[in-house]
Structure 1
């Protein structure tokens, strides 16, 4: 009896082999000739160059691993294979040209990994259902043709130096998408069907200049934009309404966030190390955050764009923004509301006032460190209660009179503020309802205090 696709072999539907089968030489596959099901794992590597002994194989219940082969150019011997019960991995096959031999494969239960096959130019032949794809470091792969059937999946597309188009993903609607280190990719055209993603990671794509192609995306749980050095705008995200976390980091050509103007729901926002960013315009509709972190954006002079913000539940960190002169634009916190966990203002060398924090009444930890131009703490008059207070290394800070706190439970650390007279610290301590558990006051100024 000869099975379909059996290439003339006698295929016995009842012939099952069990266990882990490793083949490093061509003759190692002969024991699977005529076998239709392998109940276990098949691991092919080394000198194997012809898969025709597997022509009857329809099922592998475990993993199918084909890796580190030298002369295997095609997968034609797998034309009967329809099901893999775990992972399919095609890794470091020096001569592999195409995946045409997988045309009968319909389901891979765990994931498909196609990595570091230097001559592979196309994925055509993979009309298969699987929850997760890894396509990485295939130096000759120019497109994702062959993935047109994918509507929902986890996809990691990484390190494919010749990849220029994403049209192979034109039917993708939801899932997770990672586009990382694809140096020739200039456009996201082809992603026009994407509506909702659990996670979208776009990182180290050196020629990508915008996000056009994502116009139908309305919801994403986590959006990460990292180290895309020529990304000059976020256009393409104009339809985005709801996000869990947005992280925008080290995109040197990005100047503003105006394409995010449609976002009304957001939990975490982190904007860091964007050397060309001059504005946060585009965030005006966001009224509540769990966390806000603005760090090391050297040209950012203002927080305008956050004007609609009324509440940050866990904390805010404004760190290392050397051109930022004030917190104006941060929003208007209502008295008794606002941040309840952490306020961390550190290393903002031009910051001269923090008036925008007015209205805060209860903060667990307030840390103000190394802000060389900050003269006073005006803006914190309504802040009545703290657990920890840290004032450290603020070269120009001369008074604590703007700090309204009357209760500090755990710790006060006021050190290395060279313009702050110790008598200012003593006067502040006298205003407290009672001493905290720990107090450290040292290396501050020696000047006098006005009455």
Structure 2
């Protein structure tokens, strides 16, 4: 007949159970930062994993980054600035819905695609000087309170803005040598419009856009052969006449 375990043996067994439970507990996640953030390496990205909001983010790097840990990020109350960078080949933030300040993507030498699949509104947007960029997809972006500028992206072929309804300031798409498709099917209002120096864009595109917007936009004249803006002509001035002396 076996004897019941001694109190000492029971205590040892209980300590073993507690140690096993402690070993299986997940480490506490660091709180999400409330100040502006600069991302230079993968550790900086990982520190934001699971965060749904940020004050302001700057991505400035010389190494490749995996941005998947930022998939939960939905709101940036300030600015999102990306660049200058090398080795960053894709900017994809699938959860991002709102940026209160400026989205500024500039001087990213290896960037090929910008994909904000669920972005709905932004204060301003400027995507400029990204020489390898081929695709910009902001298909659910509906409203930009300030200006929206896409310029000097020599390899850009597709600019997807089919959900865009309103731009409070200037909508400018200029100096994109390979741009062949500009999706603006939903656009209803712009403060002003400037589409120029995009030689691969169909020459009647600007005219059709103006016809649809009516008097709400007045773009510059465009030379169909080059896609370049035609400077306005200045009417000749007539020198003032001097009344005859009596």
Shorter-chain TM-score range: 0.7 to 0.9
Deviations 1:212-270 (A, max 9, x none): xxxxxxxxxxxxx634xxxxxxxxxxxxxxxxxxxx23xxxxxxxxxxxxxxxxxxxxx
- For the structure 1 residues 187 and 45, does the alpha-carbon distance in structure 2 shift closer, same or farther, using more than 3 Å as the test? same
The question of 1:149 aligning with 2:153 is answered no
Q: Structure 1 residue 30: deviation in Å?
A: 2.9
**What TM-score does the superposition give when structure 2 sets the normalisation length?**
0.73
Deviations 1:140-183 (A, max 9, x none): 11243x111223323101110112344x1233333221013223
Please list every run of 5 or more consecutive structure 2 residues that lacks an aligned counterpart in the other structure. 1-26
CA contact (8 A) 2:84 2:107 kept: yes
| Structure-2 separation of matches of 1:90 and 1:112 | 8
Q: Structure 1 residue 64: deviation in Å?
A: 0.4
State the structure with more CA Rg: 1
**What TM-score does the superposition give when structure 1 sets the normalisation length?**
0.42
| Structure-2 separation of matches of 1:202 and 1:31 | 49
Among candidates 125, 132, 137, match of residue 112 of structure 1:
125
The match for 2:94 is: 79
| Structure-2 separation of matches of 1:159 and 1:205 | 15
Does the residue aligned with 1:194 lie in a helix, a strand or coil? helix
Does the residue aligned with 2:104 lie in a helix, a strand or coil? strand
Does the residue aligned with 2:194 lie in a helix, a strand or coil? strand
- For the structure 1 residues 80 and 187, does the alpha-carbon distance in structure 2 shift closer, same or farther, using more than 3 Å as the test? same
| Larger strand share, 1 or 2 | 1
The question of 1:60 aligning with 2:64 is answered no
Trace 1:4-153 onto structure 2 (pairs within 5 A): 16-38=32-54, 40-48=55-63, 49-76=65-92, 78-100=93-115, 102-108=116-122, 110-128=123-141, 129-131=143-145, 132-144=147-159, 146-153=160-167
Deviations 1:169-224 (A, max 9, x none): 23333322101322334513352522122542346876149xxxxxxxxxxxxxxx
- For the structure 1 residues 34 and 143, does the alpha-carbon distance in structure 2 shift closer, same or farther, using more than 3 Å as the test? closer
CA contact (8 A) 2:98 2:120 kept: yes
The match for 2:199 is: 183
- For the structure 1 residues 35 and 170, does the alpha-carbon distance in structure 2 shift closer, same or farther, using more than 3 Å as the test? closer
| Structure-2 separation of matches of 1:105 and 1:188 | 29
| Structure with more relative contact order (C-alpha pairs < 8 Å, separation 6 or more) | 2
| Structure-1 separation of matches of 2:216 and 2:47 | 45
- For the structure 1 residues 164 and 96, does the alpha-carbon distance in structure 2 shift closer, same or farther, using more than 3 Å as the test? same
- For the structure 1 residues 26 and 203, does the alpha-carbon distance in structure 2 shift closer, same or farther, using more than 3 Å as the test? farther
| Structure-2 separation of matches of 1:204 and 1:91 | 28
Backbone CA RMSD of aligned residues: 2.7
The match for 2:177 is: 161
Q: Structure 1 residue 35: deviation in Å?
A: 1.9
Q: Structure 1 residue 41: deviation in Å?
A: 1.4
Among candidates 215, 224, 230, match of residue 226 of structure 1:
230
Deviations 1:267-312 (A, max 9, x none): xxxxx2xxxxxxxxxxxxxxxxxxxxx13xxxxxxxxxxxxxxxxx
Trace 1:12-411 onto structure 2 (pairs within 5 A): 16-38=32-54, 40-48=55-63, 49-76=65-92, 78-100=93-115, 102-108=116-122, 110-128=123-141, 129-131=143-145, 132-144=147-159, 146-153=160-167, 154-166=170-182, 168-175=183-190, 176-189=192-205, 191=209, 192-202=211-221, 207-208=226-227, 226-227=230-231, 248-249=232-233, 272=234, 294-295=235-236, 317-318=237-238, 345=239, 366=240, 403-404=243-244
- For the structure 1 residues 187 and 203, does the alpha-carbon distance in structure 2 shift closer, same or farther, using more than 3 Å as the test? closer
| Larger helix share, 1 or 2 | 2
- For the structure 1 residues 205 and 95, does the alpha-carbon distance in structure 2 shift closer, same or farther, using more than 3 Å as the test? farther
CA contact (8 A) 1:178 1:202 kept: no
- For the structure 1 residues 104 and 202, does the alpha-carbon distance in structure 2 shift closer, same or farther, using more than 3 Å as the test? same
Number of aligned residue pairs: 209
